[in-house]
Every structure is written in C-alpha cells, then in structure tokens.
Amino acid sequence: MDFEIGFSCVAKIFYSMAGEGRGHAARAWTLVELLRNNHEITLFAPHDAFSLLQPRYEGSAIGVRRIQGLRFSYDENQQLDMFRTLNGFFDYLNDARPLIRQLAGEIRRESPDLVITDFEPALPRAALECGVPFISLDHQHFLTVYDLSSLPGMLRVHALYMGLVVRLFYSGQASTVVSSFYFPPLKANCHGVKQVGVLLRDDIANATPSRGGFLLVYLRKSLNRRLLEAIRASGYPARVYGTPPIPPFQGGEKMAFCPHEHGSFQRNLIECDALITTAGNQLVGEALYLGKPVLALPELGNYEQYMNAHFLRQSGGGDWVDFANVEVSHIENFVSRLDHFRASIKHERLNGNSAVLAEINRFLPVPAE
C-alpha cells in the first residue's frame, strides 16, 4: 500500500493496547504493518491481543511482550456485567503500580522516541513519568470528544458516566486520535483531537469486493440460537464464524459453520452480500469500507455497542436489532433493503491509514541536518 507520507528517520516506538476483543489487536496489527519497514516497534499486549499478535510476530523484529490487562465481566447469560467490569477496572488501577514501575524501567532502559496506546492505561502513565510523549489511538475516546447529542436520552446518560471512566485511563497525551466508522461533530472545547476512519490491513484496503450470494455472520462470546433460527428461516445462505457448529443448525447446505482462520474470514468478508455481527467499531468499519451493509446486534449490556449501532443506523449503511428480540422478519427486512444501504455508504473517510500515519509522523524525531 503506497502512502505519500515521508517518515523522518528510524524511530523506536512502544505500543500498548487493550486486550479484549478483536478491534484493538486489529488496529495494532494494521499500524505495525504500516510502520515496521521504517521503525523499531515493541508491542505490549494483554489477554486476547497477546494471543493474536504474539504468534503473528514470533521470530520477527517486532517484539511482543505480555502485560496485565483489564477484562470485561459477563454474567451467566453472557450479558456484559457493567458493575463487575467497573469493579475490576478500579481493582486493576489500584494494583497497577508495579506494572507501571516495570514499564517505566523498560522505557528508561530502551529509550523509545514515542509511545502509542490503544485504550491501555499503564504504558502511558509510565511514559509520562519518563517524559516520553504518547499518542492516544483508540475508538473509546469518542465518549469524551464527540458531540453525542443525537443519542437517545438513556444512551446519553450512559455515555456521560462511561466518558468519566475513559478520562480515568490516562491524561497528558500529545494527541488524541479517534478511529471510528462515524464522524459526528466534536465538542466545542476539544482541541488536539484527530478524527480518522478505521485502520485497514492491505487485504481489506486493496480488496476488490464482490457479492457471493451469502450473509457473513460473526458472533463473539455467546451463541444466539434465536438469531441462527431467524437466519435459517429467512432462507438466505449464511457462513457463521465465532461459534462451533450447533445442532440442529449444522449440516444444512445454506448455513455453514467456519473455523475462525484469518484468511478465510477476510475472504468471506470481501465476498459476502452483507454482514451480521455484534456492534464493534472495527469490524463494522471494515465491512462498510468494502460496501457491505451491516445488521448490528449489540452485546447485551454493552452500551458502547448500542451507541455504535445508533450511528450505524444514522449513517444509512445498515441497521440494528436487539439480540433478545431478533426475528426472521428482521433478517428479511434487512436483506430486502441491501441496495438502499449500499447506496448510503460513504467510503471517503472510512480508511484512516493515511491520516494516522501523518499524525504519528508529527511526533517522530527529524533527521539531523
């Protein structure tokens, strides 16, 4: 992928990210591939992110170090338990001092030129202690910098307290970069904020999309049998990722359960007619970039996903429905409107790669005269 971005000189970059889900690791993967030929990069990854990134870069010049991280808590119904999640967050912050000291020692020993963090609180605090500039690059800061007045009332309430939590993660960043598939106005007092699209790996950014006559379904954390029954009843062929085959759904010609291998999932995303998934920012943004309408099913209790779903519907590129309420009529209505959704998708700002590279370049050292 060619970008008209001239990097100044070889720099050393430390990069940390949250460990839950696919989006943080996907952003890290993309950015590393864009930077690795010009700079030295070390990743600090917890949980899921480490599991995804460490095998990818094992034996390469890219270092991947495991760190402690936050986890979401789910109840017995696989609904996000916000109370337990927040308690875990505060417990983590109370116990984070040893990790911050460890990371500060690594910063002093290895002298990175820049720190980048994707919603991970320990490395940026260590960077501040050591006087190293850091950039915040994530989606979650939309809660603090976007004008969210278009949200329904209860979601605005949730956005308010969730924004307070986001502010506790870290402060003092040299730049705040929000990577998102939607672009509402910024709040009046937000300066030094850069709005960019989602970060796209080469296999997505350079793809030639097609329509293979099937729906792509991606489920995370939980299986919703009601959803699978609705898809099957609609008669529309589907390829399902994120869950093992479940009787009585496997074995039919029109519903295939696929192992979650990166290459096959990406090919199916490029070739599908539309995507049905939870309302995570990264995957929804990738699908929209490819011109694929999205039916989003926010995870129960995950208010950030409900906000994403709201802006998806507002953009015209798709729709959403509650997991608990999905019916065959929702699937049929979504499929009947695919042409309308496709016509409403705006591609122009959805690829955030160039804008992110330009912003990072502002904080890298310049070569000596």
Task: Find the range with the poorest average confidence among 82-86, 94-98, 100-104, 290-294.
Answer: 82-86
Instruction: List the structure tokens of 209.
Output: 């999309």
Sole residue written with tokens 């190293």 = 132
- Residues 208-219 pLDDT 10s: 999 999 999 998
CATH number of 204-344: 3.40.50.2000
The contacts of residue 225 (CB under 8 Å, 6+ apart) are 246, 249
Q: Which helix (H) or strand (E) segment is 102 a member of? A: helix 97-110
Distance in angstroms (rounded) separating the CA atoms of residues 47 and 95: 17
Q: How confident is the model at residue 19 (pLDDT cuts 50, 70, 90)?
A: confident
Helix, coil or strand: residue 265: helix
The contacts of residue 313 (CB under 8 Å, 6+ apart) are 319, 320
Q: What integer pLDDT is reported at residue 295 of this predicted model?
A: 98
- Whether 9 contacts 364, CB under 8 Å: yes
Q: Fold identical between 12-199+352-361 and 204-344?
A: yes
β-bridge mates for residue 297, sequence order: none
Instruction: List the structure tokens of 193.
Output: 């904020």
Looking at domain 12-199+352-361, its CATH class is: alpha beta
Task: Find the range with the poorest average confidence among 118-132, 133-147, 209-223.
Answer: 209-223
Is it the case that residue 80 has pLDDT exceeding 70? no
Q: In 111-188, where does DSSP find H-type helix?
A: 122-130, 142-145, 153-169
Task: Tell if the pTM clears 0.75, that is, is over it.
Answer: yes
Which residue ranges make up each domain of the chain? Answer: 12-199+352-361, 204-344
What share of the chain has pLDDT > 90, as a percent? 67
